[in-house]
Amino acid sequence: MANLKEVKERIKSVSSTQQITRAMKMVAAAKLRRAQDKIIQLRPYSEKLSAILANVSAGNSDESMNTFAEEREIKNVLIVPVTSDRGLCGAFNSNINKALKVVANAYADATVYVMPIGKKANDISKKQGFKRIDAYWNIFGNLSFETVREAAEHAMNGFENGQYDKVILIYNEFKNVATQVVKSEQLLPIVQLVNEGEVAATGTDYIFEPSKDFIVEDLIPKSLKIQFYKAVLESNASEHGARMTAMGKATDNAGDLLKELKLMYNRTRQAAITKEILEIVGGAEALAADK
């Protein structure tokens, strides 16, 4: 059985750890609220833009309208995994790592490029030896639409000039505090809208207002950037939810461990006291016998 000093030190250590995990849970909860508000506000706008974009792409055969919808032979693939900058958030980052390996293996015959978003994604892609575009991994240091836009434009320009034939986003979609779902989403070429399993309406006649050029030059690129931004915000909210859950469980586990350690401390202390009493009684009896 451990001595009293060892048990007391373990209790102190676990108590200190519990204070840290409880504080981290509270910080994650505060950040989650702000991140959750952002993604909830952006979702309807993003979904509507994506629907318009898919309909316009499907319903117009003009080559200029389908610059970002052009299907090509897959020779070069850009994968954009979105993780966090820090750990202590459960399986949040490892799930993205697994998905990255699955997607990369699916395009084993092509040249795979990785544009990591988040420090953990940068470390993972570097360790696994992928060809990296590492100019945008620190986006979360100053998360805004402007910083994300630069990364989105790199992917869009690369697809437009033929550097990439497909662009895939991998991120955690925020469902609730306890649930984050890994998504592998094709950003480019644009996926045409399909309703309830039916083929997209490619024969739709559109009236462009103010002009077709405005649609091509403004709406489509803006929609793609918003879609990219939405993926980053989803991941950001998921990170805080995962960290809040992980730190909550760690705090509870520390509490359970403290109960066991305190019980062990009391038992050890009681055993030590009993031993001392027995020694005193034994000594007293020995003295009495001598007399």
Phi-psi region of 192 (alpha: psi -120 to 50; beta: other; left: phi over 0): beta
Residue type, 94: S
CB burial of residue 281 (10 Å; 0-12, 13-18, 19+) = exposed
Task: Say if strands 166-176 and 179-188 run parallel, antiparallel, or are unpaired.
Answer: antiparallel
End-to-end alpha carbon distance in the chain: 37
Q: Annotated active-site positions, please?
A: 89
State the Cα–Cα distance between residues 23 and 275, nearest whole angstrom: 41
State the Cα–Cα distance between residues 120 and 139, nearest whole angstrom: 12
